[in-house]
Chain A
Amino acid sequence: MKKKLWIWLSLSLVIPGLMIVTSCAKKTVKADLDLAQTQEDEAAKLAAEKAKLAAEKAKQEEIARQRALDEKRRKEEAAMRKITAARNLFMNENIYFDFDRSDLKPEAQEVLKRKAEWLRKNHSESVIIEGHCDERGTNEYNLALGDRRAQSARNFLNDLGIKESRLTTISYGEERPADPRQNETAWSKNRRGHFVLE
């Protein structure tokens, strides 16, 4: 009984085995073709994968590049802002004088030192120094006083190494007050040297 079982079992293995062998003989070419196809597909797939990776990499690189550019631009903008701020500060920061005086007070000298530094860094820039007075005193004398104030600032900058050719003076006397009111606060604001970049 047991022997019979083994026979059946072997047969069941051998017959399909034979069947496979006979059928194989017929199908070999087709299998080869399939294999080539698969290999091709495989390669394409690989290439695609590779391309995808490359694209991804490129994208990442592009993003990084953009980031760097942005960063650079931001830095440049910041630098530009800084330059503009420095330039504006140069033009907006006045020096102030006492009544009927044209000598430079210590604060004024500090301001002028900063201006000289800026002018040294920006050697293509030329500056017009305006001398102004408060409304007290008389028109004609104030024109001369405004001139003297502008000259004081010019001489100081000149002493700090700024070429005379870059420094022009103009006196407005009491003609262009910064603050038209008539009180000491306004007057002290009006007794000024103002700096304009050409």
Chain B
Amino acid sequence: MLNKSVFKIIFICLIATVFFLTESAHCRTEYDYIDINNPFIRKIPIAVPVFKPISGSGGEKFLSQEASNLLSKSLEFTGYFKIIDRDAYLVDPEKSDIIVSNINFKNWTGIGAELLITGSLFLKDNIIEMELRLYDTFKGLLIVGKRYKGVVNNQRKMIHRFCGEVIYKLAGSKGIFGSKIAFVSKNSGNKNIYLCEFDGHNPEQLTYNKSIALSPAWSSDAKWIAYTSYSKGKPDLYIKHLKDKHGAIVAKKGINITPAWVPGKFSLAATLSFSGDSEIYLLTGTGKIIKKLTNNWGIDVSPTFSPDGDKMAFVSNRSGSPQIYIMDLDSGQVKRLTFQGRYNTCPNWSPNGDKIAYSGMGNGQINIYTINVEGESPALQLTHDSGNNESPTWSPDGSLIAFSSTREGPCRIYVMTAYGTDQRCLLALPGEQTDPQWSPRVIDN
């Protein structure tokens, strides 16, 4: 009890002591370092030297190394940066200073670094204090500075908060830091829902059923997850509060599958087939039917909403093969979006609202594509000749796409930029992983 309240105080400290380090009058708030229209064409070279241990203790040195490495890795993960190798540095960062007046920026521009992050770390009684600063090396400007204080175990959280500040300053969006990814992992014949951090760290199992669980979907406050499970013998829809574990089950005759939450509402769409035909219905968060959204004989499945909640994309085989359609929810009007290929499924609407990512089949291979929602330009193929690639899901800032792929044999979760660059495996657990679903950014604590 005492421990808990102490922890609470410390945690509040972590939040409360974060403030701008306004040491420089040159500090600016608006930058356009990252071109939102084509952000991954050129990566920004950035130097992240090991943080300065204030007292110089062994513990501080270890944590400084760990924290600065995590910062490098986390920034690299975004796809925006090229981290400059520490062996190329012209100065010993331990001897160089960390505040603007004492930094010789030529030492950094000389090795091509356009950005520099300096840090200091102070450790006392299992509490760390970090000061982190981002500089524009050419202009000699402090872009953002922050101080963090908290228990050692929260170091990862502190670093990720600073990363969020960095991305916010450079790209104008809050980034991916603090978001999570839900996915399905198959182990010893059963499929269960798991969660991990945006970078694949700390995977944790959410369901423990000896059956099949599929298609996790986050509510837009990230407090609820809906998914399909066979735990009662057939595909039913489970709506679950992540913390309290309470919720509802939609277990009508036939299939109860492919949930998608309406942005900003406690309401979701899902495919139900109790009528003998699969249609998409709008449901309350407690699983009651509000209304039928599609009305067409054949398959209607996999809804995904535009960020404003006005439109819904979904898969239908009404034309004879699975294609992606967009429905205007007000008028009920439906327009076909995809025309290339005979098998386009798994739509996922981008958080910026302008694109839809999907899986398309061609030449016996399934690849990830993005297409403009207006459908006026041809789709952009993001994966090529690398197994089957399914279930694309946008990061909350729209910069990255996670998906599942069989490129290395067993199906695993991969991540790439929204333009298809920097494709890498997110995590590898025993068995197979599928159905990634990126959370909104909200997740905190």
Contacts and interface: CB of A to CB of B under 8 A. Distances in A.
Given A143-B214, A170-B234, A137 B361 contact: yes
B391 A147 contact: no
Contact of B214 (A100, A139, A144, A169): A139
A145 B301 CA distance: 10
A140 B345 contact: yes
Contacts of A168: 253
A175 interface: yes
A181 B268 CA distance: 37
B258 interface: yes
A190 interface: no
A90 B292 CA distance: 37
Contacts of B258: 140, 143-144
A171 B272 CA distance: 12
A171 B317 CA distance: 17
Interface residues of B, number: 38
A47 B435 CA distance: 92
B94 to A, nearest CB: 52
B343 A147 contact: no
A151 B345 CA distance: 21
B412 to A, nearest CB: 15
B434 A100 contact: no
A139 B276 CA distance: 20
B391 A139 contact: yes
B370 interface: no
A178 to B, nearest CB: 15
A29 B397 CA distance: 137
A161 B180 CA distance: 52
Nearest to B212: A175
Contacts of A144: 255, 257-258, 271, 273, 278, 299-301
Interface string A141-180: 1011101100100010000000000001111100100000
Contacts of B277: 151
B302 A171 contact: no
A141 B228 CA distance: 13
A169 B254 CA distance: 6
A7 to B, nearest CB: 125
Given A138-B390, A139-B390, A147 B321 contact: no
A145 B366 CA distance: 17
Nearest to B359: A138
B345 A143 contact: no
A147 B322 contact: no
Closest 5 CB pairs of A and B: A144-B301, A138-B345, A144-B299, A141-B345, A147-B255
A142 to B, nearest CB: 9
Contacts of B276: 151, 155
A148 B278 contact: yes
Contact of B346 (A140, A143, A151, A169): A140
A140 B321 contact: no
Given A100-B343, A147-B278, A151-B273, A141 B322 contact: yes
